[in-house]
A and B are shown apart, each in its own frame.
Chain A
Amino acid sequence: MIEAVREAHDVAMEADERVVVFGEDVGYFGGVFRCTAGLQAKYGSSRCFDAPINEAGIVGSAIGMAAYGLKPVIEIQFADYVYPAFDQIVSEAARLRHRSNGDFTCPIVIRMPTGGGIFGGQTHSQSPEGLFTHVSGLKVAMPSNPRDAKGLLLAAIADPDPVIFLEPKRLYNGPFDGHHDKPLVSWKDHPLGDVPDGDEVVSLGKAAIRREGSDVTVLAYGTMVYVAQAAAEESGVDAEVIDLRTLIPLDLDAITGSVRKTGRCVIVHEATRTSGFGAELMSLVQESCFYHLEAPMIRVTGWDTPYPHAQEWEYFPGPTRVAEALKKVMED
């Protein structure tokens, strides 16, 4: 998936010289996760460069560049580090088009590795998507595989509005179903690890069905897509797993179409539960599918605690917890 992200940058920079890439360690070194490796050598240091460790400065200067007419694609080294830039994202990038009535716009992409499963503790594991979906004017995407990572990132760069692009870091090197004690699996042998050359985009706002099923709909994104699929196999419940891919805009038609078919819904995310995006999904399903529901919906999420270090796998909503939810929703 790292290579897919890198390729998307490469394709976009090749096609449009307004695309500039910067962030902490992204220039000469190519990023701590290597997602921008080789770009400075290929496009020069005025189009791919290192930034001071100042997230407000990175986002704030990117907003100014976008107002000028460039298309900045910036990296926040970990999603956990984005908070100093919150004012710039929430009060500035998100609202610039609206408050200036289109006089100025802000086509920037803010990439950030997100989620846990790497023993990153509370400062390298968070999933802050719900903080961004709460803000009008932002789009929020989270790919679950290399093919989507490239296609969604190309769509995000082409988008005329600011996009928060969350990359599940546990998926960088292979799909991960939550069985942390099993050998690592590489993207090499996964069908979605096969990334097409060129500039094929995956449109923002289109969910994908990763596993068809008739018993229950599972709404998931990022790493949880694989956890949900594993839980379906292990529980024997014929779950339909929907990978949302983008949270804003949200593919509500795909969600309602599936829930009306199965009559049951389990929502899975790694982020903390209270006021998490799962609460929004649950409300939307309730509002649009209430009379099709045969059982109360269930959320399986990270606990409302800081992301712990030693207790990582007790925190992480793994396949056992999801399988239990699948069985319970079938019993209700």
Chain B
Amino acid sequence: MSNDVRPLSLNVPEPGCRPGDTPDFSDFEIPRAGAVGRPPIDVDPDEIRDMAFSIVRVLNKEGEAVGEWAGALSVDELHEGLRHMLILRAFDARMLTAQRQGKTSFYMQHLGEEAVSCAFSRAMQPGDMNFPTYRQAGLLIARDYPMVTMMNQIFSNAEDPLHGRQLPIMYSSKEHGFFSISGNLGTQFVQSVGWAMASAISGDTRIAAGWIGDGSTAESDFHAAMVFASTYKAPVVLNIVNNQWAISTFQGIARGGVGTFAARGHGFGIASVRVDGNDYLAVHAVAKWACERARRGHGPTLIEHVTYRAGGHSTSDDPSAYRSRREAAAWPLGDPIERLKQHLITIGAWSDERHAQAEAEVMDEVITAQKTAEAVGTLASGKQPSPRDMFEGVYETMPPHLIRQRQEAGF
């Protein structure tokens, strides 16, 4: 070997900012609102490759909706969207506290990411199916799934539709287009493609949406989903929620040093778009475009929602151990609720007073629901599911060995 060969060293990417550092997002390129055009829904993915490196944004700094993606929602719809996000934030706040009070074991909040699921939900139609992760409860709230039922699940009480079998927030509602949450990461991404393939096999017009986090795009299931979606041109919208952090691991570990998560779609010939995940109007507009594209047989779309996880990963996580406490405030895409509020004020359809009043009303609603759920029971007290129930539903018909074990357990 020649003398000019040096020992190799391993590249381990590091985030720009750790505890104690000053957050710096100056490398994060943010195009101005309205800068990215809206292609026709049947566009060839090859013609929009640049969209995987830009960001679709509708709301500008002044709170105006600008560009070709604007104008899809009425004022009433925007009011409703704001309300959904306020509900989700209030719901999260109450449930975080309930967890601290010992009423449940675990909770995961959406702080800063409310627009992604709330706005996306509006683009889906009844009968369509989401395959969510644990941070898309806005899909249920925006479809008026009862908050009391969500809380019953979180408290694992006697009215929990899942009979206490699942970790809190792992909801399931076929009726509301919300597939059962697994908790294992990435698995549901390829399942959403399978569901969409089934719709195509059956000559249906319904579509599916898959969800995955930035960290879990490193899972093999992500690759499987992309191959299957590409090969069978499945009517599916594949969503990556890039909230910058996978527990303590910054997104650069899953993404590598170059490119974007959206650009992963290029190798598969899948239309790939990045969107400002803190812009309710942009998320909705891009979701609507992708859903329409899928429903009309033009194939899958990969959407990277660029957002920021302003809270901890879960109630078991303390983000101050691995990132700056000031990073959330420095996040350049702002807060989704504040931005929609500002937009409504700018167009003369909202005010600080009305906002404060709406916040109070929403909190009352959440508290009322919580009282109803707690009156049934929590993980700590009240009416809980029967122990007998853990033996039910493993199979449609209980096989002899489970009957024997249930008897042995004394239920």
A and B co-occur in one complex: yes
User: Which residues does chain B contribute within 8 Å of A98, judged by CB atoms?
Assistant: 165, 393-394
Query: In the complex, A96→B170 CA distance in Å?
Result: 12
Which of A2-10, A49-57, A166-174, A179-187 touches B? A49-57
Chain A contacts with B in 74-108, Cβ cutoff 8 A: 84, 87-88, 91-92, 96-105
B144 within 8 A of A: no
Would you call A67 and B395 a contact (CB within 8 A)? no
Nearest CB on B from A1, distance (A) = 26
User: Which residues does chain A contribute within 8 Å of B129, judged by CB atoms?
Assistant: 67-68
Would you call A205 and B187 a contact (CB within 8 A)? no
Would you call B227 and A249 a contact (CB within 8 A)? no
- How many residues on A have C-beta within 8 angstroms of the other chain's C-beta atoms? 43
Query: In the complex, A209→B360 CA distance in Å?
Result: 72
Interface string of B22-42 (1 = CB under 8 A from A): 000000000000000000000
The contact of A137 among B224, B395, B400, by CB within 8 Å, is: B395
Interface string of B168-196 (1 = CB under 8 A from A): 00101110000110101001111111111
Would you call A102 and B393 a contact (CB within 8 A)? yes
A308 within 8 A of B: no
User: Which residues does chain B contribute within 8 Å of A61, judged by CB atoms?
Assistant: 190-191, 193-194, 197, 224, 228
A65 within 8 A of B: yes
A245 within 8 A of B: no
Interface string of B141-183 (1 = CB under 8 A from A): 0000000000000000000011101100010111000011010
Chain B contacts with A in 356-411, Cβ cutoff 8 A: 393-396, 399-401
Which of B109-117, B198-206, B288-296, B300-308 touches A? B198-206
Would you call A101 and B191 a contact (CB within 8 A)? no
Would you call B190 and A57 a contact (CB within 8 A)? yes
Contact A101-B162, Cβ < 8 Å, known A57-B227, A67-B179: yes
B97 within 8 A of A: no
B273 within 8 A of A: no
B351 within 8 A of A: no
The contact of A67 among B165, B191, B227, by CB within 8 Å, is: B191
User: Which residues does chain B contribute within 8 Å of A201, judged by CB atoms?
Assistant: none
User: Which residues does chain B contribute within 8 Å of A67, judged by CB atoms?
Assistant: 129, 179, 191, 194-195
User: Which residues does chain A contribute within 8 Å of B187, judged by CB atoms?
Assistant: 60, 87-88, 91-92
Would you call A46 and B201 a contact (CB within 8 A)? yes
Query: In the complex, A264→B8 CA distance in Å?
Result: 64
B281 within 8 A of A: no
Contact A99-B194, Cβ < 8 Å, known A56-B220, A252-B400: no
A207 within 8 A of B: no
The contact of B190 among A60, A101, A136, by CB within 8 Å, is: A60
User: Which residues does chain A contribute within 8 Å of B196, judged by CB atoms?
Assistant: 64
Would you call A99 and B191 a contact (CB within 8 A)? no
B231 within 8 A of A: yes
User: Which residues does chain B contribute within 8 Å of A103, judged by CB atoms?
Assistant: 161, 172-174, 180
Would you call B172 and A101 a contact (CB within 8 A)? yes
Would you call B182 and A68 a contact (CB within 8 A)? no
A70 within 8 A of B: yes
Residue of B nearest to A62 (CB): B194
B280 within 8 A of A: no
Chain B contacts with A in 264-283, Cβ cutoff 8 A: none
Query: In the complex, A70→B203 CA distance in Å?
Result: 12
User: Which residues does chain A contribute within 8 Å of B393, judged by CB atoms?
Assistant: 97-98, 101-102
The contact of A99 among B180, B224, B395, B401, by CB within 8 Å, is: B180
A198 within 8 A of B: no
Query: In the complex, A52→B195 CA distance in Å?
Result: 17
Nearest CB on B from A247, distance (A) = 11
Would you call B208 and A87 a contact (CB within 8 A)? no
Would you call A99 and B199 a contact (CB within 8 A)? no
Would you call B194 and A64 a contact (CB within 8 A)? yes
Contact A52-B191, Cβ < 8 Å, known A96-B180, A101-B162, A102-B393: no
Contact A99-B166, Cβ < 8 Å, known A54-B224, A69-B198: yes
A111 within 8 A of B: no
Query: In the complex, A54→B173 CA distance in Å?
Result: 29
Contact A91-B182, Cβ < 8 Å, known A104-B174, A161-B395: yes
Query: In the complex, A250→B401 CA distance in Å?
Result: 8
Query: In the complex, A88→B172 CA distance in Å?
Result: 18
Query: In the complex, A92→B173 CA distance in Å?
Result: 16
B131 within 8 A of A: yes
User: Which residues does chain B contribute within 8 Å of A57, judged by CB atoms?
Assistant: 190, 221, 224-225, 227-228
Chain B contacts with A in 208-251, Cβ cutoff 8 A: 208, 220-221, 223-225, 227-228, 231
Contact A60-B180, Cβ < 8 Å, known A97-B395, A98-B165, A104-B172: no
The contact of A56 among B200, B221, B394, B395, by CB within 8 Å, is: B221
Contact A139-B395, Cβ < 8 Å, known A60-B191, A64-B131, A101-B161: yes
Contact A87-B184, Cβ < 8 Å, known A60-B194, A64-B192, A102-B393: yes
The 5 closest A-B pairs by CB, nearest first: A64-B194, A61-B194, A57-B224, A60-B190, A68-B198
Residues of B participating in the A interface, judged by any CB pair closer than 8 Å: 129, 131, 161-163, 165-166, 170, 172-174, 179-180, 182, 184, 187-202, 208, 220-221, 223-225, 227-228, 231, 393-396, 399-401
Pairs A–B under 8 Å by Cβ, sample size 21: A54-B224, A54-B227, A54-B228, A56-B221, A56-B224, A57-B225, A63-B191, A64-B194, A64-B196, A67-B195, A69-B198, A84-B220, A87-B187, A92-B182, A98-B165, A98-B393, A99-B182, A105-B396, A160-B396, A161-B396, A249-B401
**In the complex, given contacts A101-B393, A102-B393, what are 6 additional A-B residue pairs having Cβ atoms less than 8 angstroms apart?**
A52-B231, A57-B221, A64-B192, A87-B184, A92-B182, A161-B396
